[in-house]
A and B are shown apart, each in its own frame.
Chain A
Amino acid sequence: MEEQKISVWGSVRFWRNTAVWVTGFAVLLLIWLSLDTIPQISAGTIEDLENGVTKRVPSAAVINYEIGYELDNKRKTEIPIIGGKQMFFGRNDYSEEEATELVSHGKMTVQSKNCMNCHTLLGNGAYYAPDLTKSWLDPAWSETGPYRPMTGKATTEEAMAEFLQHPNKYPTHARMMPDLGITPDEAIAVVAFLKHMSSIDTNGFPRNFNKIKGAVNAK
Chain B
Amino acid sequence: MIEAFTDVVPSFFGTLNRGPMTLTIFLHTVIILPMFFLYYSEKKKQKQGDHED
Classify chain B: how many residues form its interface, as a range: 20 to 34
CB of B43 within 8 A of CB of A40, answer: no
Please report which residues of chain B, range 1-48, place their CB below 8 angstroms from some CB of chain A when the two chains form the complex.
Answer: 4, 6, 8-9, 11-13, 27, 30-31, 34-35, 38-39, 42-43, 45-47
Q: Is A119 an interface residue (CB 8 A)?
A: no
Residues of the A chain whose Cβ atoms lie less than 8 Å from the Cβ of B43: 6, 8
Closest residue of B by beta carbon distance from A14: B42
A6 touching B12 in the complex, CB below 8 Å, given contacts A11-B52, A22-B31, A25-B31: no
Could you list which residues of chain B lie within 8 angstroms of chain A, going by C-beta atoms? 4, 6, 8-9, 11-13, 27, 30-31, 34-35, 38-39, 42-43, 45-47, 49, 52-53
A181 to B: closest C-beta gap in Å: 38
The CA of A11 and the CA of B10, in the complex, are separated in Å by 43
A212 to B: closest C-beta gap in Å: 20
CB of B46 within 8 A of CB of A54, answer: no
A22 to B: closest C-beta gap in Å: 6
Residues of the B chain whose Cβ atoms lie less than 8 Å from the Cβ of A55: 8-9
CB of B13 within 8 A of CB of A36, answer: yes
CB of A8 within 8 A of CB of B46, answer: yes
Interchain CB contact (< 8 A) of A56 among B6, B8, B13, B31: B8
